[in-house]
């Protein structure tokens, strides 16, 4: 079988398009590269959605934690502690079991012109269930980063905004938020990278790979078990992750440059990749 045929068969295998059976015997390098690459679709999907949504919820959670009103501050603190203090691994297991015991019903959401039926069974599928866990997790971690940045916004800036007559949401949106983002961005870049790496955990924790549609690590684990040779499949998945990590660093550095464009060059904060780690 030529490599072109392999790409057609397995290029989108992780989302259920292409050949049904996974390669079993005489596994070629091309098959490994293509199938593991196809698994990366899952990692990118989960990380992209979770980080994008998590960004907004984390901003809200960080302001809630910094709030002087205990009605906001206490729950925010508890949420952050819960998700930062426990392993993501256990969160996945717990989340999955929680979603399994949800009553199996469908909710109808009328949208006027059409009606969407939301099934609770979707929660036990990785595309929604794991996404929710990852979303909560990144919300908690990012909120802690944003909270730290929020507290280091220079008080002079805030006082200046007040003397200009800004208050409430306007002050937040025009003065506090941009500075907060600028201060938090280097750490937030790392958070995005870790979350991307954490997506590799999904199919090893409760969430079943339905019809063998799994992520990159799922397939490389499959190959390592089939060929008894870890020295091919794992370096391939490592290569893919390094590649996408570089993409994240590139994108986030661009944003960082924009956030820092009014700052004197020698005072700008640089995105420095710090190695980490599991959560």
Partner 1 sequence: MEFCADPATIEGAKWWLCYLTTPKHQQFYFSFLTVLALILLVAPITLILGFGGALARRSRFYPLKLFGQIYTSMVRGVPDIVFFMFVPIAMDQGLEIIRHWINCPDVTGAIYQGNDFVVCTAAKLPLSTSPQWVHETYGFFLALVAFSIVFGAFAANTVDGALNAVPRNQLETGRAYGMTSGQVFRRVHLPQMWGYALPGLSNLWMILIKATPLLFLLGVEDVVYWARELGSSKTSIFTYPHPDWRIWYFAALLVFYLLLTWVSEKIFARFRTRFTRGQASSAGKIAIEAGQ
Binding residues for partner 1, per CB under 8 A?
Answer: 25-27, 81-82, 84-91, 93-94, 97-98, 100-101, 197-198, 200-201, 204, 217, 220-221, 224, 226-231, 234, 237-238, 241-242, 245-246, 273-279
Nearest 5°: the CA angle 2, 238, 87 is 135
Length of the chain in terms of residues written: 279
Of all helices (H) and strands (E), which one includes residue 119?
Answer: strand 115-119
Nearer Cβ to partner 1 (107/228):
228
Nearer Cβ to partner 1 (169/231):
231
Three state DSSP letters for 43-96: HHHHHHHHHHHHHHHHHHHHHHHHCCCHHHHHHHHHHHHHHHHCCHHHHHHHHH
Cα separation, 175 vs 169, whole angstroms? 10
Nearest 5°: the CA angle 227, 233, 234 is 130
Cα separation, 119 vs 234, whole angstroms? 36
Instruction: Tell me how far, at minimum, the Cβ of 126 lies from partner 1, in Å.
Output: 16
Instruction: Tell me how far, at minimum, the Cβ of 24 lies from partner 1, in Å.
Output: 9
Instruction: Tell me how far, at minimum, the Cβ of 248 lies from partner 1, in Å.
Output: 10
Tokens matching residue 25: 């015997």
CA end-to-end distance (rounded Å), the chain = 41
Are 6 and 31 in contact by the 8 Å Cβ rule? The answer is: yes
Nearer Cβ to partner 1 (76/176):
76
Nearer Cβ to partner 1 (160/247):
247
Nearer Cβ to partner 1 (35/201):
201
Instruction: Tell me how far, at minimum, the Cβ of 230 lies from partner 1, in Å.
Output: 5
Nearer Cβ to partner 1 (67/229):
229
Instruction: Tell me how far, at minimum, the Cβ of 75 lies from partner 1, in Å.
Output: 16
Instruction: Tell me how far, at minimum, the Cβ of 158 lies from partner 1, in Å.
Output: 21
């Amino acid at each position: 079988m030529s490599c072109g045929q392999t790409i057609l068969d397995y290029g989108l295998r992780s989302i259920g398009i292409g050949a049904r059976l996974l390669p079993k015997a005489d596994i070629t390098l091309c098959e490994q590269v293509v199938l593991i690459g196809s698994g990366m679709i899952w990692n990118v999907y989960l990380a992209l959605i979770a980080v994008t949504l998590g960004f907004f919820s984390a901003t809200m959670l960080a302001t809630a934690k910094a709030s002087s009103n205990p009605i906001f501050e206490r729950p925010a603190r508890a949420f952050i502690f819960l998700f930062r203090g426990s392993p993501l691994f256990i969160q996945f297991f717990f989340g999955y079991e929680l979603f399994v015991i949800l009553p199996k019903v469908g909710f109808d959401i009328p949208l006027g012109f059409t009606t969407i039926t939301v099934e609770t069974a979707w929660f036990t599928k990785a595309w929604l269930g794991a996404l929710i866990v990852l979303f909560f997790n990144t919300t908690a971690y990012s909120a802690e980063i944003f909270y730290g940045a929020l507290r280091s916004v220079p008080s002079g800036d805030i006082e200046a905004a007040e003397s200009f007559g800004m208050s409430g949401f306007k002050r937040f949106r025009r003065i506090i938020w941009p500075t907060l983002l600028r201060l938090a961005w280097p750490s937030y870049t790392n958070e995005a990278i870790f979350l991307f790496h954490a997506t590799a955990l999904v199919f090893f924790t409760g969430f079943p790979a339905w019809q063998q549609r799994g992520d990159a690590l799922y397939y490389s684990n499959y190959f390592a078990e089939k060929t008894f040779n870890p020295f091919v499949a794992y370096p391939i998945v490592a290569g893919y992750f390094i590649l996408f990590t570089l993409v994240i660093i590139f994108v986030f550095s661009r944003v960082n440059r924009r956030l820092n464009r009014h700052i004197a060059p020698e005072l700008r904060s640089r995105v420095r990749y710090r190695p980490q780690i599991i959560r």
